[in-house]
Amino acid sequence: MGDRFNTVAGWALFAGIIALGGAIVSSKYFHEARPEKMGYAIEGVEAEGEGGASGPSLNTLLASADVAAGEKVFAKCAACHTANQGGANGIGPNLWATVGEPIGQGKGGFAFSDALKSKGGQWTFENLDHWLKSPREFAPGTKMTFAGLGNPADRANLIAWLNTQGSNLPLPAADAAPAAASATAEEAATNGTNAAESVNGAAPANAAPAGGPAAPTTGKSE
């Protein structure tokens, strides 16, 4: 009886060893590593932040800016800034007539950081846009703790509103349409010329001779 039990126990132990060994071997052959790039590529769909249009330029956004919306955006700044004429400095300087002023200067003796005082230049529309997008990127070492406004339209609206607070500089005109539009217009003009030549009896360029196939274009002068 005891020998029979030992035999059964031995076979059970042997089977367990075989199963464990099989699991180890299979894990070596069928190991699923995490792919370097997750997901599947879909043709015609660009990854976020890659390619695509960059959006309207600052000039175009300023040309159509919503001043009332800009005043609402300023509510995010009101905890540290005033913008009325004669307003007091707070955690940040009073912003009356800021657009066009020298950077890091004036403002009733406000203690600007060395990063801003040494920046140089003026608060142009472009500099304000860069500053509002990321103060720390515009002037590394600034005391400004605000992270920035990521929406270009919000920045343009805010700049347009600030411009009405004592600066009143002329806003830029919207940028011209992309070159592709000009190429399309040129192509349309060429097609119109060919149509006019056909009406007047002249054969357009590359037209097929009467009763024969179209003459191939070789790119060589004869």
With respect to residue 207, please indicate whether it lies within any of the assigned structural domains: no
With respect to residue 73, please indicate whether it lies within any of the assigned structural domains: yes
With respect to residue 169, please indicate whether it lies within any of the assigned structural domains: no
The CATH number that applies at residue 94 is 1.10.760.10
With respect to residue 109, please indicate whether it lies within any of the assigned structural domains: yes
- Region for residue 207 given its phi and psi (left: phi exceeds 0; alpha: psi -120 to 50; beta: otherwise): beta
pLDDT in tens, 22-32: 666 555 554 44
With respect to residue 30, please indicate whether it lies within any of the assigned structural domains: no
Residue 106: predicted pLDDT: 84
pLDDT in tens, 38-64: 333 333 333 333 333 579 999 999 999
pLDDT in tens, 125-183: 999 999 999 999 999 999 999 999 999 999 999 999 999 999 999 999 999 977 655 55
Task: Give the number of other CB atoms < 10 A from CB of residue 88.
Answer: 9
Q: How confident is the model at residue 17 (pLDDT cuts 50, 70, 90)?
A: confident
Number of domains in the chain: 1
The range of the structural domain enclosing residue 69 comes to 58-164
Q: What's the rounded Cα separation, in Å, for the pair 41 and 92? A: 47
Q: Please, what sign has the CA dihedral across residues 146, 152, 153, 158?
A: positive
